[in-house]
Amino acid sequence: MPKEIAITFGKFNPPSLAHHALVAGEGGLIDYANKLGLDHIVYTSNRYLKKLKKPKPHKETPLSPEQKKKHLSRFFGTSNIQFRESPHQAIEELLEQGYDKIHIMVGSDRMETLAPNLRELYGDRVHVVKYGDERKAGAEGIAGVSSTELRNFAANNDYEGLDRKSTR
């Protein structure tokens, strides 16, 4: 019997309603994995410290890995969160661990860029699963959520905008 697992990878910076739906929503990663009887892992980037003589938090990733894992665990309702530099690093490690097939769930905005790259590198060992509708700037609900937009809300002290698109 083939050894399979379901994963996703993202910066989750900051985590948004769209990220929550991708991981914990109906048809999301956890639901998908449960339906297929697979384990799941949520991978997130571990870029935190700038490489300087005196390390400082990276401006795009202000939370330490410990803080990020704590918040993501609470937000997604799962503690199965691991840090890796890239989706490729996560996939390579899983293949080395003996997984025959890796199901990676991505948002619609990653299908054009990440999916072809993964298919080219890993063939049928990686199955890319699309989650959600196409993103549309200005749309309501998760189709209109952008982490860049959320970071801009935070930078401009627009807490109403931030709250509208980043909390459940």
Quote the Cα angle for 132-134-135, to 5°.
105
Q: Give pTM, 2 decimals.
A: 0.81
- Report the pLDDT value the prediction gives residue 144, as an integer from 0 to 100: 60
Strand-pairing partners, residue 126, are 102
Which string of b and e fits 54-67 if b means at least 16 CB within 10 Å?
eeeeeeebebebee
With a cut of 70, which residues of the chain have pLDDT below it? Answer: 47-63, 133-147, 151, 154, 162, 165-168
- Report the pLDDT value the prediction gives residue 29, as an integer from 0 to 100: 96
Q: 3-state SS string over 137-167?
A: CCCCHHHHCCHHHHHHHHHCCCHHHHHHHHC
- Report the pLDDT value the prediction gives residue 140, as an integer from 0 to 100: 63
| Residue 72 · residue 38 · CB < 8 Å | no
- Report the pLDDT value the prediction gives residue 158, as an integer from 0 to 100: 78
Q: Which residues have C-beta within 8 Å of that of residue 82, sequence separation ≥ 6?
A: 41, 42, 43, 44, 90
- Report the pLDDT value the prediction gives residue 52, as an integer from 0 to 100: 45
